[in-house]
């Protein structure tokens, strides 16, 4: 491990230790923040009892589903938009401002259209993640070296073959960047929607626990979501880096 | 007006037309149960924006947003500059920033509520944490990527470090810094609104949440329209400024 990495680990340890001490001596009261070791014990108890397994499976499943749709739809749309100059130019201002739009405002409309099941939550997750994937896919496609496209033409590849064998692999690192955003956004979409209105899931349980001062449930759930999103992101980053390294770009 | 600016505005016009057509089409499909037509929304908006109720909530949201943006820009730039100039410090802290950037921050709102209590400071904090990280990351990269020859020149000419930052690093990193500010602006806005939706009794976000609870379609559609419109126009203006800066650099 590098020196910076070691210092980083030490810093995390110091911060957690400080939090532990501050809570123990009562400078931070236990109604606000739990001691870190207590959060871990609560997390273990929660998982062992299995009473929230359904909520966890529902949220993670929906977010996973939203992620898969956002990435596949985003890549396909990116490939298509890339070929249509006019469409792309028209959509550019939308892409530039998209993330300031309060997408959750569309949630009531989606509930009426799709019913109060999982569908509107997944839809919100897709709406949020999709555009990040499209924008990054376009960015990656812009950077495909011309010589590769020429090679494809010389070898008489058709459009689909070129996409699958040349452009997509070449744009892969950028698509992965988009996928990283999609991980966070699909979780944000699903959990946010559960906060607003739903009948179950981790977001629902978190806000229920918050309203009941049930920190023993709230903090473990929050930690699970944070750990899940950070670790998925790290896996994708590593993949991204290895792709770039193989091309001698980093 | 440069040709690229004109093209952007023409494209905006087309985009607006397409969205209006889609909106009208969707309305024809769904009807009054969950949507209003563009015309009805405009009429309702025109009436609603003159009410004192709207003015109070708007003032509250503006105050929270301006504060959050101030904090996000100030600390984002500071963090970005410090880390951008110190290679080792950025090796240590950049992964933290990236991790925070990638976390679904919406899950943190109960913690912020417990720490700050229900009210202005919670939503300002919620807005600011959305904006700080992208501004810091973009600034960090911009400052780090300043051409070494420029820094060498500054050193040869014996500029002090503050003068170097002011006259060399800042102007040369500005286009990329501004791109970060643009993203930070959007995310701070959405963060403040989300904060108001979940953690407040006042402001446009609260009004929206309230309307969702009461299923007041008029208000829901109007607020979505107003907020999207504001975000869109502000985003385009910032994009235009960004292009101008990039072209000058």
pLDDT at B65 over 90: yes
CATH number at residue B239: 1.10.3720.10
Q: What is the maximal distance between C-alpha atoms in chain B?
A: 71
Of all residues in chain B, the percent with pLDDT exceeding 90 is 37
Q: Is B240 on the interface with A (CB under 8 A)?
A: no
Interface test with B, best of A7, A15, A89, A97 (most B CBs within 10 A): A97
More confident residue, B145 or B34: B145
Are residues A79 and A18 both part of a single domain? no
Would you list the DSSP string of A65-89?
Answer: HHHHHHHHHHHHHHHHHHH-HHHHH
> In whole angstroms, what is the distance from residue B22 CA to residue B111 CA?
39
Chain-chain contact of A93 with B103 (C-beta, under 8 angstroms): no
pTM as predicted: 0.88
Q: Mind listing the pLDDT tens digit for each residue in A93-132?
A: 888 778 878 888 888 788 878 887 899 999 999 999 999 9
Would you list the DSSP string of A147-204?
Answer: HHHHHHHHTT--HHHHIIIIIHHHHHHHHHHHHHHHHHHHHHHHHHHHHHS-SSSHHH
Decide if B87 is inside a domain. Answer: yes
Asked if residues B84 and B141 have their Cβ atoms less than 8 Å apart, the reply is yes
Asked if residues A105 and B220 have their Cβ atoms less than 8 Å apart, the reply is yes
Residue A249 — pLDDT band, cuts 50, 70, 90? low
Are residues B20 and B108 both part of a single domain? no
- Write out residues 96-155 of B within 8 Å (CB-CB) of A: 96, 98-99, 102-111, 113-115
- Count of residues making up chain B: 249
Are residues B18 and B126 both part of a single domain? no
Are residues B8 and B93 both part of a single domain? no
Q: Is A179 on the interface with B (CB under 8 A)?
A: no
Q: Is A187 on the interface with B (CB under 8 A)?
A: yes
> In whole angstroms, what is the distance from residue A224 CA to residue A227 CA?
5
Residue A135 — pLDDT band, cuts 50, 70, 90? very high
Residue B61 CB-half CA count within 13 A: 25
pLDDT at A64: 95
pLDDT at A56: 92
Are residues B9 and B88 both part of a single domain? no
pLDDT at B30: 82
> Which one-letter DSSP state was computed for residue A51?
T
Q: End-to-end CA distance of chain A: give it in Å, rounded.
A: 18
Asked if residues B161 and A72 have their Cβ atoms less than 8 Å apart, the reply is no
Are residues B22 and B130 both part of a single domain? no
Are residues B17 and B126 both part of a single domain? no
Are residues A23 and A50 both part of a single domain? no
Are residues A76 and A173 both part of a single domain? yes
- Structurally, chain B folds into a number of domains equal to 2
Q: Residue A30: count other Cβ atoms within 10 Å of its Cβ.
A: 12
More confident residue, B25 or B31: B25
Q: Is B239 on the interface with A (CB under 8 A)?
A: yes
pLDDT at A27 over 90: no
Q: Is A31 on the interface with B (CB under 8 A)?
A: yes
Decide if B40 is inside a domain. Answer: no
pLDDT at A26: 80
Closest CA to B181 of B63, B83, B70: B70
Q: What is the mean pLDDT of residues B126-154?
A: 92
Question: Residue A165: CB partners within 8 Å, gap ≥ 6?
Answer: A152, A157
Asked whether the CA dihedral A60, A66, A68, A70 is positive or negative, the reply is negative
Spell out the long-range contacts of A73-77 with Cβ–Cβ below 8 A and sequence spacing 24 or more.
A73/A126, A73/A130, A73/A133, A74/A129, A74/A130, A74/A131, A74/A132, A74/A133, A74/A134, A74/A137, A74/A178, A74/A182, A75/A133, A75/A137, A75/A168, A75/A175, A77/A130, A77/A134, A77/A137
Q: Mind listing the pLDDT tens digit for each residue in B162-213?
A: 899 889 998 899 989 998 999 999 899 989 998 888 877 889 999 988 888 8
Are residues A198 and A233 both part of a single domain? yes
pLDDT at A32: 79
Q: Is A196 on the interface with B (CB under 8 A)?
A: yes
Are residues A8 and A113 both part of a single domain? no
Q: Mind listing the pLDDT tens digit for each residue in A209-230?
A: 888 888 888 999 999 999 999 9
Chain-chain contact of B106 with A195 (C-beta, under 8 angstroms): yes
Decide if B223 is inside a domain. Answer: yes
pLDDT at A23: 85
Are residues B13 and B93 both part of a single domain? no
> What share of residues in chain A are helix, strand, coil (percent, to 5)?
85, 0, 15
- Structurally, chain A folds into a number of domains equal to 2
Q: What angle do CA A169, A170, A176 make, to 5 degrees?
A: 70
pLDDT at B177: 92
Are residues A196 and A80 both part of a single domain? yes
Decide if B42 is inside a domain. Answer: no
| Two structure tokens written together for A50 | 């299995």
Are residues B164 and B114 both part of a single domain? yes
For all residues of chain B together, what is the average pLDDT?
Answer: 89
- Write out residues 47-66 of B within 8 Å (CB-CB) of A: none
pLDDT at B80 over 90: yes
Are residues A19 and A111 both part of a single domain? no
3-state secondary structure (DSSP) of residue B68: helix
What does residue B245 show for φ and ψ, rounded to 5 degrees? -60, -45
Decide if B43 is inside a domain. Answer: no
pLDDT at B249 over 60: yes
> Which one-letter DSSP state was computed for residue B146?
S
Are residues A15 and A132 both part of a single domain? no
Residue A250 — pLDDT band, cuts 50, 70, 90? low
Are residues A134 and A29 both part of a single domain? no
> In whole angstroms, what is the distance from residue A171 CA to residue A95 CA?
19
pLDDT at A99: 82
Are residues B232 and B118 both part of a single domain? yes
Q: Is A211 on the interface with B (CB under 8 A)?
A: no
- Write out residues 53-112 of A within 8 Å (CB-CB) of B: 89-94, 96-97, 99-102, 104-109, 112
Decide if B73 is inside a domain. Answer: yes
Q: Residue A115: count other Cβ atoms within 10 Å of its Cβ.
A: 10
Decide if B50 is inside a domain. Answer: no
Are residues A39 and A8 both part of a single domain? no
Q: End-to-end CA distance of chain B: give it in Å, rounded.
A: 18
Closest CA to A45 of A210, A197, A221: A221
Are residues B124 and B11 both part of a single domain? no
Are residues B94 and B191 both part of a single domain? yes
**A55: closest CA of chain B, how far (Å):** 15
pLDDT at B1: 66
Are residues A45 and A27 both part of a single domain? no
Q: Mind listing the pLDDT tens digit for each residue in A39-78?
A: 889 899 988 888 888 999 999 999 999 999 999 999 999 9
ipTM score over 0.85, yes or no:
no
Domain extent at residue B77: 55-248
For all residues of chain A together, what is the average pLDDT?
Answer: 88
Q: What is the mean pLDDT of residues B149-165?
A: 90
When CB atoms are compared, the residue of B33, B95, B113 closest to A8 is B95
* Residue with the two structure tokens 């999982």: A118
Chain B residues whose beta carbon lies within 8 Å of the beta carbon of residue A222? 107-108, 110-111
Are residues B92 and B180 both part of a single domain? yes
Alpha carbon of A22 to those of A26, A34, A187: distances in Å?
6, 10, 31
Domain extent at residue A216: 35-246
Are residues A155 and A174 both part of a single domain? yes
CATH number at residue A113: 1.10.3720.10
């Amino acid at each position: 491990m590098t020196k910076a990495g070691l210092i980083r680990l030490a810093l995390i340890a110091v911060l957690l230790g400080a939090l532990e001490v501050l809570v123990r001596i009562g400078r931070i009261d236990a109604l606000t923040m739990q001691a870190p070791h207590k959060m871990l014990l609560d997390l273990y108890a929660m998982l062992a009892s299995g009473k929230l397994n359904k909520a966890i499976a529902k949220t993670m499943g929906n977010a996973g589903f939203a992620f898969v749709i956002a990435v596949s739809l985003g890549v396909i749309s990116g490939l298509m938009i890339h070929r249509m100059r006019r469409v792309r130019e028209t959509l550019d201002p939308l892409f530039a401002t998209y993330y300031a739009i309060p997408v959750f405002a569309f949630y009531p409309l989606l509930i009426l259209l799709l019913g109060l099941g999982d569908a509107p939550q997944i839809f919100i997750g897709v709406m949020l993640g999709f555009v990040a994937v499209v924008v990054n896919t376009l960015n990656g496609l812009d950077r495909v070296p011309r010589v590769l496209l020429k090679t494809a033409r010389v070898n008489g590849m058709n459009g689909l073959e070129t996409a699958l064998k040349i452009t997509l692999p070449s744009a892969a690192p950028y698509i992965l960047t988009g996928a990283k955003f999609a991980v966070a956004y699909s979780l944000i979409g699903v959990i946010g929607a559960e906060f607003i209105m739903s009948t179950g899931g981790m977001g629902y349980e978190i806000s229920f626990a918050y309203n009941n001062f049930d920190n023993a449930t709230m903090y473990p759930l929050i930690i699970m979501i944070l750990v899940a999103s950070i670790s998925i992101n790290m896996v994708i980053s590593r993949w991204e880096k290895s792709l770039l390294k193989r091309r001698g770009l980093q | 007006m440069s040709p690229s600016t004109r093209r952007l505005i023409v494209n905006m016009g087309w985009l607006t037309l397409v969205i209006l057509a889609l909106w009208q089409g969707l309305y024809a499909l769904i009807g009054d149960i969950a949507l209003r037509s563009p015309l009805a929304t405009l009429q309702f908006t025109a009436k609603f924006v003159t009410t004192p109720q709207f003015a109070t909530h708007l003032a509250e949201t503006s105050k929270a947003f301006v504060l959050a943006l101030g904090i996000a820009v100030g600390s984002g730039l500071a963090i970005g500059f410090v880390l951008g100039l110190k290679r080792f410090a950025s090796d240590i802290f950049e992964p933290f920033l990236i991790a925070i950037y990638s976390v679904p921050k919406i899950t943190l709102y109960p913690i912020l509520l417990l720490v700050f209590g229900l009210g202005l400071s919670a939503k300002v904090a919620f807005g600011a944490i959305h904006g700080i990280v992208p501004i810091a990351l973009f600034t960090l990269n911009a400052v780090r990527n300043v051409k070494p020859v420029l820094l060498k020149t500054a050193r040869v000419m014996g500029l002090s470090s503050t003068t170097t930052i002011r006259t060399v690093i800042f102007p040369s990193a500005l286009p990329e810094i501004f791109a970060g500010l643009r993203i930070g602006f959007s995310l701070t806005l959405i963060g403040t609104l989300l904060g108001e939706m979940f953690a407040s009794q006042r402001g446009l976000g609260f009004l929206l949440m309230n309307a969702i609870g009461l299923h007041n379609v008029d208000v829901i559609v109007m607020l979505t329209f107003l907020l999207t419109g504001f975000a869109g126009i502000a985003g385009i203006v910032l994009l235009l400024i960004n292009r101008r800066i990039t072209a000058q650099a």
